[in-house]
Amino acid sequence: MFIRSLNHFVKKSSNACLSIEIRRALSNGSFVRQLFEQETSTYTYIVADGKTKDALIIDPVITTVARDMQLLKQLGLRLRYAINTHIHADHITGSGRLKALLPDCQSVISKTSGGKADIYIEDGDEIEIGDKDDKNQRLILEC
């Protein structure tokens, strides 16, 4: 299975949104898990590398951080990044709470968004999780 994009994401535009694309086939137990927060109709995604158990979360919602933490724990995953595709007027992001609970987690957002984060990305930047020594086993998200 090769995932070219997640339909939830809007294209990068002048309003500082990110479009994220997974750039390799998911194998060795790697996966994408889609979650839904009903009150704000927000989709959250957990992307994980099956070999290293490294994970990232896309568009976490503050009211579902406990749910997300429970799932990460159940699956034995280590959260490395909390990525926001845009500034969320529809809900409060859960990135800050995740970072407080998991100090090794870094927040990520578009450089042009005006939002606060540990890592600022631009069009064409890549975020990697997985085995850094094995190019065929890394999960790469192009932004």
Output Rg (C-alpha) for the chain, integer angstroms: 14
Residue 98: predicted pLDDT: 97
Q: Which residue has the tokens 């450089």?
A: 111
Name the nearest CA neighbour of 51 among 24, 69, 83, 70.
Answer: 24
- What's the pLDDT band for 137 if we cut at 50, 70, 90? low
Q: What percent of the chain has pLDDT over 70?
A: 71
Q: What CA–CA distance (Å, rounded) separates 24 from 39?
A: 33
Torsion, Cα of 44, 47, 50, 53 (10° steps): -80
Residue 59: predicted pLDDT: 93
86-102 pLDDT, tens per residue?
776 656 889 999 999 99
34-84 pLDDT, tens per residue?
999 998 888 999 999 888 999 999 999 999 999 999 999 999 999 999 999
Q: What DSSP string runs through 81-130?
A: EEE-SS--SSS-BSHHHHHHH-TT-EEEEEGGG----SEEE-TT-EEEES
Ramachandran angles phi, psi of 119, nearest 5°: -125, 130
Quick one: average pLDDT of 121-125? 83
Quick one: average pLDDT of 23-31? 65
Going by the DSSP 8-state scheme, the letter that residue 62 receives in this structure is G
Looking at 3.20.20.70, 3.60.15.10, 3.30.9.10, 3.40.640.10, the CATH number of the domain 21-142 comes to 3.60.15.10
pTM of the predicted model as reported, rounded to 2 decimal places: 0.79
User: Hey, where are the domains in the chain?
Assistant: 21-142
Rounded mean pLDDT of the chain?
A: 78
